Structure 1
Amino acid sequence: MFFDDLTFKEKIIPKTILGYSPFVAEPFLGHRSMLYKRDLYDNPQAIADVIVESYNQGVRAINLFNDSQLLKAYDIACDQGCNMKVIATIGKTEVDYLNPNYEIAKETDWDDDIELFNSYDCPLMLVDEFIVDAYDWRLTSKILDCINDTDSLSGLITAFPLRTTNLIPENLNMDLFDFYMVPFNAISYMMDITAFNASQREEFKQKLTSLNKKVIASRIFACGILKPKEAFEFYKKIDYIDLISIGVAKVEEAREDFTLLKEY
């Protein structure tokens, strides 16, 4: 289901993307963030080991942003023959996820990120959620324009799949981007949807598909609340998600999760 490639506008993008959240100890991972910082972020070799195992299990794309430790880990993995397509997040900053200051987020050197990832095998660049969800449409459009001047396709990331999806058509030129990354899981965790019964899922599906974009789902395990099998069973019934991003924190997790994913 997700071990094929998506071919779009002459670009080949693997449907399964290795996420970076555990690698950089994202704060929304709760108490595990401290462990991930010690075991992964402060030890690029450990990150590289997970990347290599994911590659060995058939994963051919990785989500990266401009962070020295993360890029060092990827370089180590590449030295071991692990060359993936890079899905780049543009304009990511160290903003408090639980209480974000969107004005600070907008001050990022996003143009440096575009220049950096233009030198990678990078078929797709995505504007970071803290820029998109600031709803400064002029800035978002400017960044998309600059991405579109490169050889990469462009897209958006949001932390608010309902609110942002409602706002995009009225505020943004829809021809500026082709991909849209949203948090999406069976229990609507870290989504701006309080419940997710059948009727609400159908309503959300209609809103999402009306954008006519390629959809990338993130946080499919609901930050560890859902077991991989539960998440994959849910996605087996979903026909409007084009790609998924999966974060794993250990070599063993990479082996187990991606082996299981191959069964779907």
Structure 2
Amino acid sequence: MLDGTGYLADDGVATAAFLALRMRRPLFCEGEPGTGKTSLALALSEGLGLPLIRLQCHEGIDAAQALYEWDFPRQLLHLRALEAADGALDADVAEQSLYTERFLLARPLLRALKTAPCVLLVDEIDRADDEFEALLLQLLDEYAVTIPEFGEVRAEVPPLVLLTSNRTREVHDALKRRCLYHWLEHPGLAREIAILRRRLPGIGDRLASQVAGAVRRLRELELLKPPGVAESLDWAEALLALGRDELDAETAARTLGAVLKYSEDLDRVRAKLDTLLS
């Protein structure tokens, strides 16, 4: 199924995804940037024919951004409308009318529970803080959340949950225990060549092999940001845009910005280009 979407998975990734589906467990994917963690969620969404709901984590993310918040301006307008219609407004009745689904703004986590079946991608969970991890625990345990003013919202069909981490910090054991776990490696040479040929149909065998081989050697250097598959694709696409059918030192030097993102890495690699391309 994954192959049919253009995602060339190895046996480990395919098995982990299959078990997440069969066991209805969240899948926690860790690995270096560019190893295909986010792309796996996109491929599962496409292959299963399910909507993808994505929550991009960041420092300071909270329930209002991830789960829900109340539409305060509309609630205020509603109260004014009630006052205009009935001067003797019952406070309890008015309060109850404010906390209904009509005024509930569903953010990605809540939307996933209400939309399920779907694929929920919680991307880069390592960028969030401990409090946000705690927020996820009930959702991963029960596929439900409790909203104090509204009540419990429970998914009729559990979403397929994929969490990703670049391991900028360790995620707590309580979260990992609720998930199946898989570490994604950079693809081997043959699979990276196959990915380039699948995603860039116009690329020739020689150029695909040269790019994959050069990127593989770049990953062996002590770079600030080793290139992932996304950078391999960008580099190959840049070379194709320049009309190149092979990778030479001069063209590589001019297009390194497609594959390396730090000036220190560019300087280090330019000094070793002949060796890298040999």
TM-score normalized by structure 1? 0.32
Q: Higher relative contact order by CA 8 Å / sep ≥ 6: 1 or 2?
A: 2
Greater fraction of residues in helix = 2
Structure 1 or 2, whichever has the larger Rg, is: 2
TM-score normalized by structure 2? 0.30
